Amino acid sequence: MTLAYPPQPDRDSAPWWARAGRREFAVQECDSCGTLRFPPRAFCAACRREAWHWRRIAPEGTVESWIVNHQPFVPGRRDPYLVVMARLTAVPGCLVHGNWRAARPPKHLEPVVAVFTEVEAEVTLVDWTPADV
């Protein structure tokens, strides 16, 4: 089994990781029909065109769901940790998962904002925290 850590950027996701390193939150926008999308992929699911660019959006969403992960995927991290799936406010069809960065558990549909966590050189994760903190 290949572990997903550290992230292995590919042709489509490399710009996402580079932007995360610069603390920028962006999704792809189709040059043809304007559909915003995440996760990154080579073509638009709405019109099948391959031309796109990155568009910065507000790093805001609401908690859609979460899990407590007990599998130690991340080196040096053995304690269970909470992973949130956030629905983006600017793009309701997009869900972005990330570690939960608050002392209390999340609440369903509560507003959240993205935070950037540099875990090592060249690896910055997009995590989530309550918007009211």
Residues that bind Zn ion (CB under 5 A): 30, 32-33, 35, 44, 46-47
Residues with Cβ within 8 Å of 11's Cβ and at least 6 positions away in sequence, in order, are 42
Least Å distance between CB 34 and Zn ion? 7
Q: How many CB atoms lie within 10 A of CB 71?
A: 8
Nearer to Zn ion, 33 or 42 (CB): 33
Token pair of 85, please?
A: 């799936």
Distance in Å, CB of 109 to Zn ion, minimum:
29
Nearer to Zn ion, 34 or 105 (CB): 34
Q: Are 52 and 44 in contact (CB under 8 A)?
A: yes
Residue nearer to Zn ion on the CB measure, 23 or 53? 53
